[in-house]
Amino acid sequence: MRAVAVVIPAHDEEALIERCLSSVAGAVAHAREGAPDLIAVVVVVLDACTDATEPQVRRWPVEVVEISARRVGAARRTGVAHALSTLDASPHETWIAMTDADTVVPVDWITHQLDLADTGVVVVLGTVRPDFADLSARHVAYWRATHHRGRPPGNVHGANLGVRASTYAEAGGIPDLSAHEDVALVRAARAIGARERASDVHEVETSGRLAGRTPAGYAAFLARVHAWIDAPPVAAPGA
């Protein structure tokens, strides 16, 4: 890969966006250590932000795009289009790495995806772990018991998704949806025979909040699990 486009949608993320950008900057710097000629651009799409997200983001060396769609699919699609228009590289030589504004990526987040791309993989499905500080003790225990490193389930997470730009274009790109736009992209990529790999080597940590910015998103999933785990036991009839 000759170029990397990192795309981050954000809607009212003033509390978490800076830790996200700090981690992404570290991952970009680490990738350039091994490939000094690597071209990289980080694009943050501010979607209908009403808090202090915008001034915080502008303190970082990133491209900023503002929209008012209030749809994560539109934000990701806009961000990818902007990133690719600024890069001087062919789609076949460009890698797109997607994450979310409430997420912290590891330092090898980009390099691991590029290593897989060098083997012919064109879609990378990374794993996501919630910030345990945001969860109850019972929820954390359940998570540890049901998620085992080295056995990635292959779930699709927009917070940890990589795709070759040429594959992205052939699959029609991220659709303009309010939720599950990442799943739709991967489904379209599979339909054209894209070679994919699930990996938890570059697992990201995302917010464990139970009320998220996207309906039916990861926070909604955590809320359902939390309600099931921490629900009070139901007394047996006649007890």
Between strands 103-104 and 94-98, the pairing is unpaired
How far apart are the C-alpha atoms of 57 and 87, rounded to whole Å?
21
- 162 falls within a domain: yes
Give the pLDDT confidence score for residue 128 in this predicted structure.
95
Q: Which of 217, 83, 86 is nearest to 156 (CA)?
A: 217
**What does the DSSP 8-state code read for residue 89?**
S
CATH number of domain containing 9: 3.90.550.10
Query: pLDDT (tens digit, 9 = 90+) per residue, 24-83?
Result: 999 999 999 999 999 999 999 999 999 999 999 999 999 999 999 999 999 999 999 999
- 192 falls within a domain: yes
Query: pLDDT (tens digit, 9 = 90+) per residue, 176-211?
Result: 999 999 999 999 999 999 999 999 999 999 997 656
- 217 falls within a domain: no
Domain enclosing residue 121, as ranges? 3-130+150-206
Number of domains in the chain: 1
- 221 falls within a domain: no
Tokens 């897989």 correspond to 116
Tokens 């570059």 correspond to 202
Local structure of 35: helix, strand or coil: coil
Token digits for 140?
Answer: 């954390």
In the chain, where does DSSP find H-type helix? 17-34, 53-57, 72-86, 109-118, 137-146, 165-170, 181-191, 218-230
- 121 falls within a domain: yes
Give the pLDDT confidence score for residue 225 in this predicted structure.
58
How far apart are the C-alpha atoms of 89 and 95, rounded to whole Å?
10
- 237 falls within a domain: no
Centroid of chain to Cα 173: 15
Token digits for 110?
Answer: 């980009």
Furthest CA-CA distance within the chain: 73
Query: pLDDT (tens digit, 9 = 90+) per residue, 111-148?
Result: 999 999 999 999 999 999 999 998 888 888 888 888 88
Please say if the pLDDT value at position 165 is more than 70: yes
Are 183 and 217 in contact by the 8 Å Cβ rule? The answer is no
